[in-house]
Amino acid sequence: MNYDLLKIVASVSLGNIPTGADATFPQWAGPDPTIVHVQAILYSSLAASLISAFIAMLGKQWLTRYAQVDMRGSVVDRSRYRQRKMNGMTAWHFDLVIEGLPLMLQASLLLLGYALSNYLFIINRVVASVIIGFAGFGLLFYLLITSAATFSYNCPFQTPLSLIIHFLIHFDDKHKKYLRRTGKWFNHVFSCKKWRWQVPKQGGAGVPHAYDFNDTSDHIELFIPNPSTQPTMLFNKETDWEDYVLDSDCIIWMFDMCIDVDVIMAIMKFIPEVVWHAGIHTTPLQRLYDTMFECFDHSSGCPIVIPKFRDKAYLAAKALLHLILQRKCIGKEHAAGVFESISSKHLPLAPESYDGDSDLTSTLGIIDCVFGHPKSINWQDFSFTTVHHVWMGHILLYHAWDVLQHCQSLPDEIKQFITHSFCLDSPPASIIADCLFIISLTLGIPLHRDDLSATDKR
Amino acid sequence: MNQFPQFNTNSGFKSSRIGDQIDAIYERLVKTFENPPPSDDPGVSATIGFALEALQLISHLYEDKLALKSYNLFHTIMDAPIPEIHSHKKWEASCLTISGAYKGGKPIPQVEDHQDNYTQHVLTFLNHHFELATGDDGQDQDIPIQNALYALVLTSNPLLPVSLKSFDSTKSLFVRGIQYAIQGDRLPSLRKTTLLFLPLICDQWFNANSPIMNSKQMRSFCIGWASAVDSVDLEQAPAIKMAALTVLLEMINSPHWCPHVVPEKLALLKDLKLVPDGFQPLQNCINNPNVIDTIRDAENPMAIVYWVTTLWSKYAELKPKVQEQLKTTTKEIMKNEQTPGSDVSRSPIGKCLLDMTLELRKVKDELRQYPTWPPNPAAAPLEKKAKDLGLAVGALNTIRRG
């Protein structure tokens, strides 16, 4: 047919009028266009089904890889490895891809229904009406449950479409501008980098968050400046920053997921082991404060720790103090307003008179001081466990760092702690070292990044 | 986070070794005080204030290395060109450093303070705090004064006697300060330190041509000194005992001071046998004819016995006049001791005679080990001692017989 058409066009272009058989247009000898249309849709449906099956098989492999424990090492190492994989899934929107599979199958079913209805309509309208009826009913049912699930998140008939619509609406729930936001969201999704480290603003020498990372494609390296120009760092250069990010992610995830008291206690015990550096963007500060607050009986006006929650209160207070002081040092929570939010509603928790629990009382006393309720702490009344005393010395070093950054004089609680520690018969060397570091800070002697560090937990 | 890390690199200030940290802190403090910001610099107050805060904190820590560094920093601070407006901070800093140096009340090991101005720094510091203590508002300055006196007493500076000689310790302020430090309401440790310090200035105080204070003040000082001596267990503190004996001998040797000596304290003369040969205060006293009269007239009957016993042991060294006084006094004592039925040999004088006789015999036995000819230079001191003892024993025997 194409040949015939070309012949007519060539003749006309040469000025010859086609005549006879040459002048008649060729007729279509293939299948009916409706059949072509229907077959195209049927093939589309088939392709969508096959692709869904293909991706489903791949997804099965991905999940198997995620589930397997393919490394040896400590619990911390393995947990970090698993957290790293989980972070990858989140960063690469694995859930979205998997949720897309049923959507493709549903689209495939829709295409099949449409193609069948269209095809049967030209063959037999009675049979077609049955098919159209069921297909319409199915589509209507789907639209209804999608609408219901979109309007009510608690509706059990969730579909992938309803989840996507719900997500898009929820994405900008405040202003209902989800259409505009959707565009932005797509841009965000497609321009999203795998590693989204925030490059902090340079705060000058001595500012703790003044560090950077170099992406060397296969790994992330800390930027280590020249010794002559190196700013004073708050954290050990050999600290594995990425691991602490994983630790923090793990802590936050478990805090959100777990309700078991023992797990919560273990998490709070673990929090002081993490260096909450500026590369960590989310902290459980508010949650920790609430957990600690719940351990107190406020009915009498002045908070009293509930005896059975004593350990929980201590661990929460220790974790909170560790977290708040480290984050204050790098100005994160402070800038974000979380600190102000807690400070504004905080009421003194330390007991007015010493009740014999040195570790808890001293921790609460420092928390009160940090949250703007300074009070004299009689360190000489306390009889600390060595572990707590060592920890307290180290955390007060962060406190001193924070205060002296703002050119303020050392708070009394720190001075009294140093005096008390120096006057002990044989204080542990690490406490003396921390106290001497605080004195060094007072004199403006810059700390080396190795001066503040964390022990290896493994 | 519970343990401090082990540092393994070697640049900057980063060490878990406490010694290194102390080095860095003191290095910064020395720099701060050696080159303080100019007085018109708005940061001068803050800089000195932070240094002072650091000093206040570290002064609670004691170890030998810290004491030495505090001592050296003290002298740096005393030399520091601190603006006048911040002089009170300078004095406070000097207090803290000298406190850090002598917190343990021990001599500072390996101190190299052979510079004359080091003593001047301490004396300047001492005068300043004497002024505060004895001023109208009478501030409590016990600890700074005690530490300054420690610095003078415990120093290994060979130039100290020269420096003290050129320092006029008889000035009114200094005298009032020492009077303040010895009084009964002061810290016992301050009084002890003052007892140790007094021998260093006793030449200027007790051998002056004219009295450095009036009689009432001298009496008050002697009472204060006596009570300070009483507050110390001298058997456990031989250094203080020697210091007390020195001051006592200087007092009884002084025509101005001897009337004010507390009689009970003459009992210290019992321990004169412990003093080394050639002990200068004793040498000054034994040839002073007034001393024997002073002691005899004192209301302490045993004092003259102790003194006479001491004089007999040094009989040959005495001037003829004093020898005559000694014989006369000994006769009086023996006369008083002679009661019906008493054993003369058990009296103090008899015991003294016995001791000297035994000593003489012992010296003679030692002399027999040397041949009589040719003369041996090593035997000469023994021969002299035997001769002196023989003279004393002979004179005492003569008195005893009759």
pLDDT tens digits along B323-356: 888 888 888 887 776 665 556 556 777 888 888 8
User: What is the distance between the alpha carbons of residues A310 and A221, in angstroms, rounded to a whole number?
Assistant: 42
Helices and strands in chain B, H and E counts: 17, 0
Which amino acid does the sequence have at B277? D
Please judge whether A407 and B49 are an interchain contact, meaning their C-beta atoms are less than 8 angstroms apart: no
**Is the minimum CB–CB distance between B372 and chain A shorter than 8 Å?**
no
The first and second tokens of residue B345, run together, are 């040999």
The first and second tokens of residue A449, run together, are 């990044």
Q: What is the DSSP string of A93-116?
A: THHHHHHHHHHHHHHHHHHHHHHH
Exposed / middle / buried, residue A284 (Cβ in 10 Å: 0-12, 13-18, 19+): buried
Q: What is the DSSP string of B64-93?
A: HHHHHHHHHHHHHHHH----GGGHHHHHHH
User: What is the distance between the alpha carbons of residues A288 and B371, in angstroms, rounded to a whole number?
Assistant: 99
Beta strands in A171-321 (DSSP E): 213-215, 220-222, 296-297, 304-305
Please judge whether A436 and B5 are an interchain contact, meaning their C-beta atoms are less than 8 angstroms apart: no
Nearest alpha carbon to residue A426 among A380, A374, A386: A386
What is the pLDDT, as a whole number, of residue B308?
87
Q: Is A163 left (phi over 0), alpha (psi -120 to 50) or beta?
A: alpha
Tens of pLDDT, residues A269-306: 999 888 888 888 888 888 899 999 889 888 887 888 88
- Phi, psi at A221, each rounded to 5°: -110, 145
Domain ranges within chain B, ordered by starting residue? 1-106, 115-231+238-260, 287-402
Please judge whether B1 and A438 are an interchain contact, meaning their C-beta atoms are less than 8 angstroms apart: no
Q: CA of B144 to nearest chain A CA: how many angstroms apart?
A: 19
Of residues A315 and B374, more confidently modeled: A315
Contacts with A450 from chain B: Cβ below 8 Å:
5, 7, 9, 14
Tens of pLDDT, residues B225-254: 999 999 988 888 888 999 999 999 999 999
CA distances from B255 to A79, B195, B289, B296 (A): 92, 21, 11, 15
Q: CA of B37 to nearest chain A CA: how many angstroms apart?
A: 14
Please judge whether B1 and A433 are an interchain contact, meaning their C-beta atoms are less than 8 angstroms apart: no
Please judge whether B9 and A450 are an interchain contact, meaning their C-beta atoms are less than 8 angstroms apart: yes
The first and second tokens of residue B97, run together, are 């450093």
Please judge whether A423 and B11 are an interchain contact, meaning their C-beta atoms are less than 8 angstroms apart: no
Mean pLDDT of chain A: 78
What is the pLDDT, as a whole number, of residue A450?
54
User: What is the distance between the alpha carbons of residues B303 and B351, in angstroms, rounded to a whole number?
Assistant: 16
pLDDT above 50 (res A204): no
Please judge whether A443 and B49 are an interchain contact, meaning their C-beta atoms are less than 8 angstroms apart: no
User: What is the distance between the alpha carbons of residues B152 and B119, in angstroms, rounded to a whole number?
Assistant: 7
What is the pLDDT, as a whole number, of residue B223?
93
Residue/partner pairs of A419-423 with CB below 8 Å, 24 or more apart: A419/A379, A419/B57, A419/B60, A420/A379, A420/A380, A421/A379, A421/A389, A421/A393, A422/B57, A422/B58, A422/B60, A422/B61, A423/A380, A423/B60
User: What pTM was estimated for this model as a whole?
Assistant: 0.65
Mean pLDDT over A35-48 rounds to 93
Tens of pLDDT, residues B259-318: 898 988 888 888 888 888 888 889 888 888 888 888 888 878 888 888 888 888 888 888
Rg of chain A over all Cα atoms, to the nearest angstrom: 34
The first and second tokens of residue B243, run together, are 């210091």
pLDDT above 60 (res B111): no
Q: Do B318 and B311 form a contact (C-beta atoms < 8 A)?
A: yes
Nearest to A391 among B1, B21, B46 (CB): B1
What is the pLDDT, as a whole number, of residue A312?
92
The first and second tokens of residue B342, run together, are 């008493």
| DSSP state for residue B264 in the 8-state scheme | G
User: What is the distance between the alpha carbons of residues A445 and B24, in angstroms, rounded to a whole number?
Assistant: 8
Mean pLDDT over B148-170 rounds to 80
Tens of pLDDT, residues A144-199: 999 898 888 788 888 888 877 877 776 555 555 555 655 666 666 666 544 343 33
pLDDT band at A210 (very low <50, low <70, confident <90, very high): very low
What is the pLDDT, as a whole number, of residue B45?
77
CA angle A267, A293, A282 (to 5 degrees): 50
User: What is the distance between the alpha carbons of residues A177 and A103, in angstroms, rounded to a whole number?
Assistant: 25
Of residues A427 and B54, more confidently modeled: B54
Per-residue HEC secondary structure of A280-306 comes to: CCCCCHHHHHHHHHHCEECCCCCCEEC
Tens of pLDDT, residues A224-260: 233 333 333 444 444 567 788 888 888 988 888 888 8
Mean pLDDT of chain B: 82
Nearest to A433 among B16, B28, B57 (CB): B16
Mean pLDDT over B138-158 rounds to 84
Q: How many CB pairs under 8 A join A and B?
A: 105
Tens of pLDDT, residues A346-365: 888 887 776 778 888 889 98
User: What is the distance between the alpha carbons of residues A87 and B9, in angstroms, rounded to a whole number?
Assistant: 34
Nearest to A429 among B11, B18, B57 (CB): B18
Residue owning tokens 């497609």: A190
What is the pLDDT, as a whole number, of residue A184?
63
| DSSP state for residue B130 in the 8-state scheme | H
Of residues A190 and A58, more confidently modeled: A58
User: What is the distance between the alpha carbons of residues B107 and A95, in angstroms, rounded to a whole number?
Assistant: 76
* Residue A287 exposure: Cα atoms within 13 Å on the Cβ side: 16
**Is the minimum CB–CB distance between B14 and chain A shorter than 8 Å?**
yes
Please judge whether A227 and B12 are an interchain contact, meaning their C-beta atoms are less than 8 angstroms apart: yes
Nearest alpha carbon to residue A417 among A352, A365, A360: A365
Mean pLDDT over B150-163 rounds to 77
Q: What is the four-CA torsion angle of A230, A234, A238, A240, rounded to 10 degrees?
A: -130
Which residues partner with A296 through β-bridges? A305
Which range of A26-35, A396-405, B12-21 scores highest in mean pLDDT? It is A396-405
Please judge whether B50 and A443 are an interchain contact, meaning their C-beta atoms are less than 8 angstroms apart: yes
Tens of pLDDT, residues A413-445: 899 899 888 888 778 888 888 898 899 888 888
Contacts with A410 from chain B: Cβ below 8 Å:
53, 57
User: What is the distance between the alpha carbons of residues B214 and B257, in angstroms, rounded to a whole number?
Assistant: 10
- Phi, psi at B136, each rounded to 5°: -60, -40
Answer positive or negative: Cα dihedral of A243, A245, A249, A255.
Answer: positive
Q: CA of B330 to nearest chain A CA: how many angstroms apart?
A: 58
Beta strands in A103-257 (DSSP E): 213-215, 220-222
pLDDT band at A330 (very low <50, low <70, confident <90, very high): confident
What is the pLDDT, as a whole number, of residue B14?
41
Identify the three-state secondary structure at position B222: helix
Contacts with A236 from chain B: Cβ below 8 Å:
5
Q: Do B143 and B178 form a contact (C-beta atoms < 8 A)?
A: no
Beta strands in A156-236 (DSSP E): 213-215, 220-222
Which residues partner with A372 through β-bridges? none
